[in-house]
Amino acid sequence: MNIIQALTDRKSTRAFLNRQVSTEKIKKILQAARHAPSGTNAQPWQVAVVSGAKKDELTKKIETAFKEEGVGDMDYQYYPLKWKEPYKKRRVSCGAQLYSALGIDRRDRPGRLQQWIANYRGFDAPVILFFFMDGDMEKGSFLDYGMFIQSIMLAALEEDLATCPQAALGQYPKLIKDTLGYDNDTILICGMALGYEDKEAPVNSYRTPREEIDVFTRFIE
């Protein structure tokens, strides 16, 4: 698979096969992704690869926290506090596509809730990656981290694996750090579901649109 094809084919997958991913494949992906660029070669990434009994334990804790406390607070402000156009429209459209693919009516609050809770199980993927960095790193390291995470997703495609980067898996940072043995002064960036795509699942059947380049690009001579 060439790079342009990988960039085009990558998507957020929300249903996975009950098929384990070998440690060798995960190491191969990380071996490639570690070459992602970072300012001054700081390489701020710290990755927890969670599967098996520990994944089940952690996702149950997160789901319980959501049911008892509601949505938790991330270590940083991911989304804007007030949405404006065109971002508000894109966000609403993204959610509408998801629930339409699942056949969940916008008035079906229980159905929408159950789909949201699936976030906290990593959509039942066999592996969840959690991304941490030292708490004294600054905004530039978030940029570096984005390139690292994208590199993982592209490398996963080469191994016939699917991914879904998830801000929702960063919403209970203390619980996750305590469970996985990370210091509370680290920053939990997000999580990522990793596994083999269930290509028959309706939720994986749609693709969100992207703007044409002339919408976001200016050629200046």
pLDDT tens per residue across span 40-96: 999 999 999 999 999 999 999 999 999 999 999 999 999 999 999 999 999 999 999
Q: What is the CATH number of domain 3-206?
A: 3.40.109.10
Read off the pTM. 0.95
Q: What are the residue boundaries of the structural domains of the chain, listed by start?
A: 3-206
Largest CA distance in the chain: 57
pLDDT at position 1 over 80: no
Question: Cα–Cα distance between 118 and 165 in angstroms, integer?
Answer: 13
Helices (H), the chain: 3-9, 23-33, 52-69, 87-102, 109-119, 139-158, 173-180, 213-216
